[in-house]
Structure 1
Amino acid sequence: MSVLVEFAMFPTDKGESVSSYVSRVIDVIDRSGFEYKLTPMGSVFETESMEDALNLLNECYKTLDKDCNRVYATVKFDIRKNRSNRMKQKIESIESKLKKEVKK
């Protein structure tokens, strides 16, 4: 199974710039060992089960819960059985149809 997760998570009670808090979230993902990609507006990661995905999101939340009174999160899931490595495959599929590499 492949569970692709696109999400953003950050505190809303820490002022205008929250990159130091977002960095903590990214560190949790990085240390998890799951494949991920950071984008300017959020992050995407892939796990093999919904349980792994939800556990990782919970760990991300816990890193902010320590000193943040309000945390905002958006989360999207794309769950597909009998597949893996879709972070890479979905991009490659588009590139093959376009017959060129896309900007990354």
Structure 2
Amino acid sequence: MSALLEFAIFPTDKGDSVSQYVSQVIEMIRESGVDYQLTAMGTLIETDTLQEALNIVNEAYAILEPHSNRVYSTMTVDIQKNKHNRLKSKVTAIENKIGKVNL
């Protein structure tokens, strides 16, 4: 099974730049060993189970909660049985089709 989870999480009461807080979350994700992709607007992770993905989100909250009175998060999940490596394969599938489509 593949659980793709895209999420953004950050404290809302720390001013315009929250990168010092978000970087702690990314460090935790990196150390967890799950596949991930950092983007300008959030982070994508791929795990074998939904519970494992949700555990990452819970750990992210646990990192931010002591530093903030308000933590904001968004989350999108795509779960598919009998699939793996979709973090890369979904992008590759689109890239392989670019230029091949006749509209």
TM-score range, shorter chain: over 0.9
Matches of residues 1-104 of structure 1 in structure 2 within 5 Å? Answer: 1-98=1-98
Number of aligned residue pairs: give it: 100
Counterpart of 1:58 in 2: which secondary structure? Answer: helix
Return 5+ residue gaps in structure 2 as ranges: none
**Tell me, which stretches of 5 or more residues in structure 1 are unaligned?**
none
Identity among equivalent pairs (%): 54
Q: Deviations over 1:49-96 (max 9, x none)?
A: 011001111001100012211000000001000100001110111111
| Structure 1 residue 99: Cα displacement | 5.2
Q: Amino acid of the residue matched to residue 29 of structure 1?
A: I
When the two structures are superposed, what TM-score results if normalisation uses the length of structure 1?
A: 0.92
Aligned-partner Cα distance in 2 for 1:48–1:27: 20
Looking at structure 2, the residues matched to 68 and 74 of structure 1 have their Cα atoms a distance apart, in angstroms, of 17
Other structure's SS at 1:59 match: helix
Give the match's secondary structure for 1:16. Answer: coil
Give the aligned CA root-mean-square deviation in angstroms: 1.2
Question: Runs of 4+ in structure 1 displaced over 2 angstroms?
Answer: none
